[in-house]
Structure 1
Amino acid sequence: MSKPTTSGTRPTKKTRRGGADANTARLGFIGAGKLATSIITGLLSVRGQVDPKRIYISSPTTTNTETMKILYPAIHTSKRNIDIFGRFDCDIVFICCPPNVIHSLYKIGGTRPAALTTNYIPNMRHPVYIFSLVFGFNIDQIKDCLLNPENPGKYTAKFYRCVISHSIFYGIGHSYIDTEPDSEKFPNIVREILTRITTLEFVPGNHLDTVCVLVGSGIAFCYYFINSIADGAVKAGMPRNVAVKFAAKVAQSTSQTILTTGLMATQLKDDSSSPSGGAIFGQMILDKNEAASGLCGAIEASFKRSQALALNGAGGGDIH
């Protein structure tokens, strides 16, 4: 007599015949860095409404997973990536490891990379949707790290590449995907889950590395810019908490203006600057201190660093 199914085991093949839905799907994460933590936190928030028992994380170290277990004791963790596809049998998988991890697989694998999951993932009994958030590697390269080359046609796995912003942590993120999210090619089960905490937008795959840097590093630079504007208001006598609030509102309204009107930022900047007014004098100070070229250079430096992680395996850490 077979044992009854428990919350920690996968239902039998018979009960799985109809497939998982947005309320039952198991979500796996390979990697437990800042990005994975942001997505998981967003999913487990009130808006995400995902049961922690449906979250599965693999990471070679327990530094971040132990923290997550304290906050959400019901989540499942492992040090083995293969468990995400094998023992945990996840329906949706996010590849969140840094690019130097994938680089190392190609370095030690020779003509074909070594498997990210020690052994190639098993042929799943059900569809599995795999989302790569790894900078510098296309879908075919990620597939080569997961699928057995002897029988790739037997897999029901579907691959996508995407960029997800860290603000998903707060349930207000943006996601950019290489497949039109409203099309039949995009899985409805994933759409239903992600749209609870993020917007979905199509971006061609050849632009996703640039988007990755803009979204990842650009957020930090925007916080830096908002804080700098607030510093000026504090210098003029405004309390810091009030100054930061007003600076954030200015950033919010200007961004929304660009998105709503479709006008170029340069034109809107000129429209906001009166002749011989305070704004134009302030811009002269920014130009004198090369603020524009500094921000441009910061994006370039972030892109080059990400390339170094992907192409040379330099350093480590979560880059976006």
Structure 2
Amino acid sequence: MSTQGSSTKNSVSANTSRTRRTKRSRADKTTVRIGFVGAGKLASAIITGLVVHPRDNPNEKPIDPKRIYVSAPTTINTDQLKITFPGIRITKRNIDIFGRFDCDIVFICVPPTVIRNLYKIGGTRPAALTTNYIPNMRHPVYVMSLVFGFSNDQIKECLLNPENPERYTVKFYRTVISHSIAYGVGNCWVDAEPDSKNFPELVRDILCRICRVEYLPENQMDSVCTISGAGLAFCYYFINALADGAVKLGFPRALAIKLASKIASSTSQTVLNTGEGASKLKEDASSPSGGAIFGQLVLDKSEVSSGICAGIEAAYKRSYTLATTGNSD
């Protein structure tokens, strides 16, 4: 009996040591453990970028899926993640991301309704996002919140034990990441200058391998979240409409989409590279009495421009409603 008990104890100890490090040296990009609270489309896009599509540098090695950890209350999305990325670690308990899995960087990717509901049921303080407040970590932890409508201070209240906040070595950042990060061409905005001492080198190394990182004040995060998210969908909508026009002129569908995509890409790069306003460049591309100006008059008559603006406003209002009421109906 004693031998069996000793064997079981040693087995548990061995399994624990493989997951939770008892003595932590400072993590680097080759040893970092990356956690995700939430397993929706954005989390999946970031994971895909990390594992499959390092940006620009072909010599940059992707992140090993064994160093990625995901928590979600159901297996609706995590089952597919396990198939797509063998070795990824999955749990239904958010606390495991900070405790058992001992992650260094944690992306909070839950819908705003999740945080709002924590405030609804918590009384004077929100309930914990984890089953309990996260433990006092033995190493620095960087929490990247991608939750619309909630400040860093509000996310802290859902994670840190208020009785001993000074014992934590957790740093929080508001972040917006575009879904195109899955293809290594995404953009990321953070509320700290990426090249400053206020932003950890470890996080910068990880993010820069899959996207372009820029500074944005925290009070503008919700707006850029809407423009980045809805705007990306709108751009796909426009490319598809442009391709429809090419098909109407006789192009095969596949060629039409390729042509429309190249035009959209070169147009955006022209704006970024020249620094000129889009209105000025639009005028430069429109010859007097030419086809482009006649086409623009049709678009103006259809109120395309105001429709896009109204679409951005509607997307923002919807996200704001989810964040402030927790009502997804």
TM-score by length of 1: 0.95
Corresponding position: 1:147 with 2:157: no
Out of 44, 53, 64, the residue aligned to residue 66 of structure 2 is 53
Contact 1:5 1:11 in 2 (8 A): no
Corresponding position: 1:235 with 2:248: yes
Q: Match of 1:178?
A: 191
Q: Match of 1:24?
A: 31
Q: How big is each residue's C-alpha offset from its partner over 1:4-61, in whole Å with a ceiling of 9 and x where there is no partner?
A: 5788422222xx1x31111111100000000000001111115261111111000011
Q: Match of 2:43?
A: 36
State the aligned residue count: 313
Partners of 1:263 and 1:25 in 2: CA distance: 41
Q: Which runs of 5+ in 1 are unaligned?
A: none
CA 1:273–1:80 in structure 2 vs 1: closer, same or farther (change >3 Å)? same
Corresponding position: 1:198 with 2:191: no
Out of 257, 272, 287, the residue aligned to residue 244 of structure 1 is 257
Question: What is the correspondence of 1:39-188 to structure 2 with a 5 Å cutoff?
Answer: 39-45=46-52, 47=54, 49-188=62-201
Partners of 1:81 and 1:257 in 2: CA distance: 44
Indicate the structure with greater helix content. 2
Corresponding position: 1:286 with 2:299: yes
Corresponding position: 1:209 with 2:216: no
Contact 1:175 1:200 in 2 (8 A): yes
Contact 2:21 2:102 in 1 (8 A): no
TM-score by length of 2: 0.92
Partners of 1:25 and 1:95 in 2: CA distance: 17
- 1:22 counterpart letter in structure 2: K
Q: How big is each residue's C-alpha offset from its partner over 1:58-85, in whole Å with a ceiling of 9 and x where there is no partner?
A: 0011010000111122111111111111
**Counterpart of 1:63 in 2: which secondary structure?**
coil
| Rg larger for | 2
Partners of 1:41 and 1:272 in 2: CA distance: 37
Post-superposition offset of 1:267:
1.2
**Counterpart of 1:89 in 2: which secondary structure?**
coil
Q: How big is each residue's C-alpha offset from its partner over 1:161-207, in whole Å with a ceiling of 9 and x where there is no partner?
A: 10001011111111011000011111111111111111100011111
Partners of 2:14 and 2:36 in 1: CA distance: 27
- 2:20 counterpart letter in structure 1: R
CA 1:46–1:205 in structure 2 vs 1: closer, same or farther (change >3 Å)? closer
Contact 1:55 1:75 in 2 (8 A): yes
Identity %: 65
Corresponding position: 1:9 with 2:22: no
Give the root-mean-square deviation of aligned CA atoms: 1.5
Q: Please list every run of at least 4 consecutive aligned residues from structure 1 whose deviation after the TM superposition is greater than 3 angstroms.
A: 1-8
**Counterpart of 1:159 in 2: which secondary structure?**
strand
**Counterpart of 2:129 in 1: which secondary structure?**
coil
Contact 2:192 2:216 in 1 (8 A): yes
